[in-house]
Structure formats: C-alpha cells, structure tokens
Structure 1
C-alpha cells in the first residue's frame, strides 16, 4: 500500500512512477477542464460582461485581487488532508483561471484570430515538455531559483499594478520577462515535486504545475498577439 507520508525522493521506483503519473495526469485533466469551462463561458457569458471586465483599471485590479485571494484559498485546499477538499481546490483554481483568461482569449479570438491561441498553446506545451525534461534528465537542483522567483513575482506584480493605475503599457519586454519567470517557476516546481513532495500530494503538485503553465501560456499568447497587431 502507498505511504502518503513518504517523500517522493525516498520512495521506491514504483511509487515514484505512480506519483508522477498521477501528478501529470491531473495537470492534463486540469487543462482539459480549463478548455471546457472556457468554451462554456464563451457561450453563456454576454459580450457586454466581457467588455465590462476590461472597461476600467479598477475593475481589472479588483478581478486580479479576487483571483489572488481565490488562488491562495484553492492552493491551501489542494494540500488539505481529505481528497475531496484537494479536488475542490483544484477545481476552484481551474474556474478562476478560466475567468481571468476570458477577456484575453476574447481579444485574441476576435481581434487577432483564434489561430494565435492554438499557436500559443503549442509553444507553451513544447516549452513545458522541454523544461520538465531538463529537470528529470539532468537531476539538477533548481531550489536556488526560489528567491529569484519570489523577487521577480513582486517586481512583476508592482509593474502590473502601476501599469493599471497610471495607464501605461508594459510592452513586449515585460512579457518576455514573465515568460522567463514562468519558465523558472516550472523548473523550480518540477524540482520540488521530485525532492520535497509526499507521494499523496499529487493533487497539490498538479495545481502548482498547472498555475505555472497557465502563467507561461498567458505571456506566450501576449507575445504572439503583439507580433500580429
């Protein structure tokens, strides 16, 4: 029987394989659920409501604040003792991502063309696969990235809030910076999954990876959109 309190790094090869399979299966399921929820939103959410989400800087700041609060709650839930709470946390986070992505995907689909969304998804998938392979094939310890990711996150948050309040565009270089930050986060989180997670924490691990993938996808899409505008 699987010991849920055993670190992945200390478990047997069979237990490691089972943990990795469950983790990445849940990441895939979260991505599929995101697509399904987003398609539903495009059908049922009025166009006026989507435009309203973009109509004012303080509205978008409120949405980002609500997203941050909701993501904090869902992350804690995904590491709760019971499996039901864990899945509720992952499900909540998928819905939050679908809400926050709705305006960006709307602009991409109707202003640039839906093909750019597929292109961004393919680029993101290849980058995620490559970054994951780097961690597993090189056995490099990426824990040193933690401080840089935290610092970069605070810098990015400050820049985003300032851009909204004062009305300036952060531009292409900021998107490139965020792609680098998201890539570093994937390296760090994948390393943590290998070394510091317990074998029963695959739902929480999947949420962490899903969050980093969605951050990467957001800014890859913005870069591709900027090249076509």
Structure 2
C-alpha cells in the first residue's frame, strides 16, 4: 500500500532568509503589477463615455450604497479566492477581478479630480500618488525594521471599518457631508490596514500565497489613495 503524504505547508516566517526575500520580491512585484493594471484599466474606462456616465449615475443616494455593497462583496469574494484556492490561475483571476472593481469604483473620484483641476487633474493625481506611495513605504518600513507582529490591530480595524460604513450609510440616507475629518480618520484606518497587511505577509502567509499577500496590500494601498485623493480634490 502506497503512503500518500500531504505536502508540508511552510509559513513564510519559517523560510530561510533568502527564501523570505524571494517571497517578498514576488509579492511586491505582483503589487506593482496590480497598480499598473489599475492605471491601464482606469485609462481604458475613461475612453468609454457610456461607462463613465453610468459610474457617475451610481453616486446618487441609495445607488451609491448599492455600489459600495457590491464592491464589498467583490472584495470578500476575491480575497477568499486568493487565500483559500490553491490553483494559481484562480488566484490571479481573483487579483485581476479586484483590480477591475477598484478601477470602476474610482471613476467618480478621478472624474471629480479632473473637473476641479485646471491641468486636467494630473497634478492632483500625481500629488495623491506621491503622498500615498510615501506613506505606504514608510509604514512598510516600520514593519520590516521592527519585525513586530501587528495582528493585534485586526479587532480595532474591524470596529473602525464598521463605524465608517455606518457613517457612510447615515450620510447618504440623511444627506449630510462627512467632511474632512472623516477622510482623515479613514487615512488613519488605511494606514493601520497597511501595517496589518504587511505584518501578515511576514508572519501569517504561507510560502505559496504571494498573490493573496499582494491583493491584501493592494486593497490597503488603494483605500489610502482614495482618501488622500478625496482630500486633495475637495480643496
């Protein structure tokens, strides 16, 4: 009788130094690829006027809540696929699906940035991108330099995001603007999420889950970019 052994699961934290560096390189390469794909898809979307008008029409009242709800469902589905599915093709499909969803939900915000700026919005977009990348790099460096496990942030982040969702729903239903301080609070939440996701990449992921790790980092990066761009576009 043959002995079929289950392949041993290796955590990233158990790998040798060289193997861990290789995992980090793969993860950040996929993150860079996701950002590039986002830019390309967003550019393509803005060439399709009916799609832009459709996205803008969803920002009114309850339609915006439905769009956010749909986006959250796509997010959960993509994250579940990337983490729980062993098939590499499925993991890539999940990442691509999430990038496309991000590009679609960003259409109204980028449209506003273009509308309020005299140079077509490029200075605002560039400023937001530079600030986002700088903060992301700084927060990532904190995790790598301290080697601290930031998984304790999970409960606080969960509570914070539920409060944020409640405020967004209330703002839409009762017609009040959440204002600058809400965006600042969301930047703090997004920063905490970057610490949490980067820490997970180091301490919680398995050696084959670089696609899932890049998706988690991309989600946090785009959340940070959204609210930085929101603040700059409101000036």
TM-score normalized with structure 1 length: 0.94
Please point out which of 223, 226, 230 is paired with 1:218.
226
In the other structure, the counterpart of 1:84 is: 89
1:37 and 2:41 are equivalent in the alignment: yes
Aligned partner of 2:212 in structure 1 is: 204
Distance of aligned partners of 1:69 and 1:4 in 2 relative to their CA distance in 1, 3 Å threshold = farther
* Alignment size in residue pairs: 224
Partner Cα distance (1:72, 1:141) in 2: 23
DSSP 3-state at the match of 2:189: helix
Aligned residue in 1 for 2:100: 95
Report deviation, 1:114. Answer: 2.7
Matched, 1:192 2:200: yes
Change (3 A) 1:195 1:53: same
Please tell me whether residue 178 in structure 1 is matched to residue 186 in structure 2: yes
Aligned to 1:109: 114
CA distance in 2, matches of 1:71, 1:50: 18
For 1:60-79, what aligned pairs fall within 5 Å after superposition? 60-79=64-83
**Higher helix proportion:** 1
Shift >6 Å, 4+ stretches:
none
Q: Distance in 2 between matches of 1:50 and 1:191?
A: 35
- Coordinate RMSD, CA, aligned: 1.3
Task: State the partner residue of 2:3.
Answer: none
Secondary structure, in 3 states, of the residue corresponding to 1:81?
A: coil
Structure 2 unaligned spans of 5+? 1-6
1:126-165 Cα offsets, whole Å, 9 max, x none, are 0000000000011222122111101101000101111111
Q: CA deviation at 1:225?
A: 1.7
- Tell me the SS of whatever aligns to 1:200: coil
In our comparison, the structure showing a higher alpha carbon Rg is 2
Q: Is the partner of 1:221 in helix, strand or coil?
A: helix
> Which residue is equivalent to 1:13?
17
Match of 2:158 in 1: 150
Matched with 1:135 is 143
